[in-house]
Structure 1
Amino acid sequence: MQDNVRRKLGLGGVFSMLALSVRPLLHLLFMCPINAVRAWLFARRNRASDEAPPQFILASILQWYDVWQRPQHFASRLSAKFDVCFLSPVPVHHIVGESQLWRGRRIKQVTDSLTVFAPLCLPGENKVGLIRAMNRLLWVSYLREAAIKLRMAKPVLWLNFPFNDRLVRAMPYRAVIYDVMDEFVEFSIAPKDANKKEAKVLKAAAFVSTGTYSLYERMRSLHKNVEYIPCGVDFELFNAVARHTPDRPRDFPRSRGPVLGYFGSLNERIDAELIESVARRRPGWTFVLLGPFQRSYSGRRDLRNVHYLGLKPYRSLPAYLAFFDICMMPYRVTEATKKISPVKLLEYFAAGKPVITTRIPDVLRFYESLVWVADDADEFITKVEAILRMRGSGQFNPQTYIDVARQRSWEQMSEQMLRGILKVL
């Protein structure tokens, strides 16, 4: 088993987690009521003009320091024009056992106009309803604290998670924006009243955007102002490896056969059994998976040709991608994954790499002619062998994929998002 795979916390980790949990508990007891009063006084003393440039608080379920996805990309580009606070409370157990890149940075000034606010929240909310309720109160208090610290009297609230419906009532807003990036109501962690919570967010939202067309089809019957804004790609970053091969990362495994790679979160949505079945039947193939483990991931970690390299900084991903022969999107096909559109697809394309995927509707809707689709291990092996033959004979044309990715930059998607937001301000 590789050393860089997330280990169990152990007794020391449990004690560390309990000690760190004291901080959000104390905040809950003392600072929540104090911040409520401070926010009320702040709102009375600071009347923001609707003519002033908007300020944004992006309350994200995804943390700034973990796998970069839609929220981080939009926030970083929006901050080129406006003040942005990226609010992403971090569960205590992520610090102790999982999020290696988090360094206790509660507030980080990324640029003059982009602030990351990452205070602690309590572990275990997906299993204990009381902890979930306590964390929702913490989110409200942290949002008020961020607004006061950054002098945001009437910010635009940008949500990407439907179960934080308390936030829409936390303070006066210029507008509420709901970016639907996943079918969270279908997740195993969804509370029993998930649809009611999402309905409250939708009622408060002036503008709703969706990251996939499948989500757009659902949302347009629930809200009058919905726009499909697909995910983009940091084209220059990922395309660089198609033009120049970087140095091989030191922890990248040596292989005589083809390398099949994946980067992203490792959770219940990844079909670990599919990967393991193929790996056993093709021991000469090397599988390299990058990304943080979640406890829901069912994969075994004792196969010699399957390597888990852990979470990597976003800007280092192309150096690993350069040494993938084939890129994978091995998702289970469930009600939740039927509405995803993985950001990594265009990143793979920008590097000029062939992609094998399971049957994801949004991927097939827009890119069916560009990907290889496998429904089971037999078909996966057959398709990989076909790709290898194409590459070996010179029939595979990387430029086709590069040209597709070039048309979908994050800058273009951010401009589309901003136009939709400004219409409701």
Structure 2
Amino acid sequence: MSLKVNGLSGRTLIYFSPVEWNGMQQRPHHLPRVMAHSFKSVIFVQPAGLRPISFNDRRRVLAWIRFRKSDGLKHPDNLHVCTPVFIPLSGSRWADKFNCLSTLKRLRSLLNNSVFKKSVLWTSTPAPLLRYLVPRLSNQYLIYDWIDDYSLFKDLPSAVMDTQKWLLQKADFVFASSMHLYEKACVLRAAETVGMLSNGVDLDHWCLDGNKNEVPEAIANIQHPIIGYFGTISHWLDTDLIESMARRRPEWHFLFIGPAYKSGLDRILGLPNIHWIGEQPYELLPCLADCFDAAWLPFRLTPKTKAINPVKIYEYLALGKRVVAPSLPDLKRLGPYVIPADGLSETESAILRVIRSGSGPEDKAGCRAVAAEFSWDRLWDGALQELAAHII
């Protein structure tokens, strides 16, 4: 059934994001961009957050205040960013009700009534305000994009877990970003209303041309071999494994790129072969990561990480890099280009294998062919085929 028959191309999609538009580029940034080609327009609603703010959130608050100036700004591909006024006390009933009304008012100021009534709601967040907002929008079709199992996040308000449960019951359709979440969703609701929408990659951004790129200044003094990681550095990184590997292989240099939150990385930065260069512009990441001799995903194996499908895996592959990673369920389908390794001995052997094999033309081509199967455009086309049978 075509989009034209279903009338999606004439509708507006309202996208409730778990992260800010000006944050690190993740699934909630890439999906709205490709969605905008299928809908009349996409409204990206900035998040109210999933917990009350603390002193550690001061940088995010300042960034949000600065970004308020661009509220309603039209971005390429017919995508608009909407920044309602929020009380940053998510999980508090009175604050959630206020945030609901503020969001509703802002959306109605952007869309006329007829467009608003025919809009499609897509949420990638179990923000508690949605339990008050969605019932006020009874005519809209609701899609829940399940990207994390928030029942495993013990530091969040109970209202977040309640909202996740509510969305899994009330949404007209649920997409899951990992096989673990897909299988769980099929148990919790009718399987025909559940779809798999994997994480993916922006191929144009990550596939560098064949020319040898100049080594970025930020890592010019780091010796090879470089075992690299980029992304948010937090509690899911296995710092014990990283430290053990760095001590066991002092001739290897371990490079970490990205913002750090409660990571425990500080205690091992004194080692001479561990390097952290902080968050870098998205535009520079391909050139930085192209210098990796081995790409590494040093995640802990926990119930939380088993439920995720890391975006960076596909970005590594698009660069032509083979990846060493723990045996997460979604990575098993990626063949010989993602090498599963758990524990110190397996990980050391896998990294050594990648370093010794190098990245020849055939190897790079194989990695990129796998990545191409997970381009955001291709994944969204598949999701549309499933939605076409449900949205009327």
Q: Which band: TM-score by shorter chain?
A: 0.7 to 0.9
Partner amino acid, structure 2, of 1:143:
T
Following superposition of structure 1 onto structure 2, how do residues 84-99 of structure 1 map, counting pairs within 5 Å? Answer: 84-89=42-47, 96-97=58-59
Structure 1 residues 351, 99: closer, same or farther in 2, change over 3 A?
A: farther
Alpha-carbon distance, 1:87 to partner:
1.1
Residue 218, structure 1, aligned to residue 190, structure 2: no
Structure 1 residues 143, 193: closer, same or farther in 2, change over 3 A?
A: closer
Find 2:110's aligned residue among 147, 150, 158.
Answer: 150
1:335 alignment counterpart: 303
Partner amino acid, structure 1, of 2:125:
F
Residue 411, structure 1, aligned to residue 377, structure 2: yes
Following superposition of structure 1 onto structure 2, how do residues 341-380 of structure 1 map, counting pairs within 5 Å? Answer: 341-364=309-332, 366-380=333-347
Partner amino acid, structure 1, of 2:116:
A
Q: Distance in 2 between matches of 1:94 and 1:118?
A: 21
Kindly tell me the number of residue pairs found equivalent between the two proteins.
367
Following superposition of structure 1 onto structure 2, how do residues 156-305 of structure 1 map, counting pairs within 5 Å? Answer: 156-164=120-128, 165-166=130-131, 167-192=133-158, 195-224=161-190, 225-241=193-209, 243-294=210-261, 296-300=262-266, 301-305=269-273
2:350 alignment counterpart: 383
Match of 2:265, SS state, is coil
1:19 alignment counterpart: none
Alpha-carbon distance, 1:175 to partner:
0.7
In structure 1, stretches of 5+ residues that fail to align are 1-49
State TM-score, norm by structure 1.
0.78
Moved more, 347-356 or 145-154: 145-154
Q: Is the 8 A contact 2:37 2:77 kept in 1?
A: no
Q: Is the 8 A contact 1:330 1:357 kept in 2?
A: yes
Q: Distance in 1 between matches of 2:61 and 2:263?
A: 16
Partner amino acid, structure 2, of 1:411:
D
Q: Is the 8 A contact 1:157 1:173 kept in 2?
A: no
Deviations 1:303-351 (A, max 9, x none): 3322222223333321111111111111111111111111111111111
Structure 1 residues 251, 402: closer, same or farther in 2, change over 3 A?
A: same
Residue 141, structure 1, aligned to residue 104, structure 2: no
Partner amino acid, structure 2, of 1:278:
M
Match of 1:86, SS state, is strand
Deviations 1:57-103 (A, max 9, x none): 11111222222222211101111232111112366767733689767
Deviations 1:75-132 (A, max 9, x none): 011112321111123667677336897671121322372111245655676xxx54xx
Match of 1:397, SS state, is helix
Root-mean-square deviation (Å): 2.8
Structure 1 residues 103, 196: closer, same or farther in 2, change over 3 A?
A: closer
Find 1:74's aligned residue among 31, 37, 61.
Answer: 31
Structure 1 residues 61, 94: closer, same or farther in 2, change over 3 A?
A: farther
Q: Distance in 1 between matches of 2:99 and 2:335?
A: 40
Partner amino acid, structure 2, of 1:86:
F
Find 2:274's aligned residue among 283, 303, 306.
Answer: 306
Alpha-carbon distance, 1:369 to partner:
3.0
Structure 1 residues 413, 150: closer, same or farther in 2, change over 3 A?
A: same
Q: Distance in 1 between matches of 2:167 and 2:156?
A: 15
Match of 1:182, SS state, is coil
Alpha-carbon distance, 1:399 to partner:
1.6
Q: Is the 8 A contact 1:168 1:201 kept in 2?
A: no
Q: Is the 8 A contact 1:89 1:120 kept in 2?
A: no
Find 1:317's aligned residue among 263, 276, 285.
Answer: 285
- The percentage of counterpart residues that share the same residue type is 28
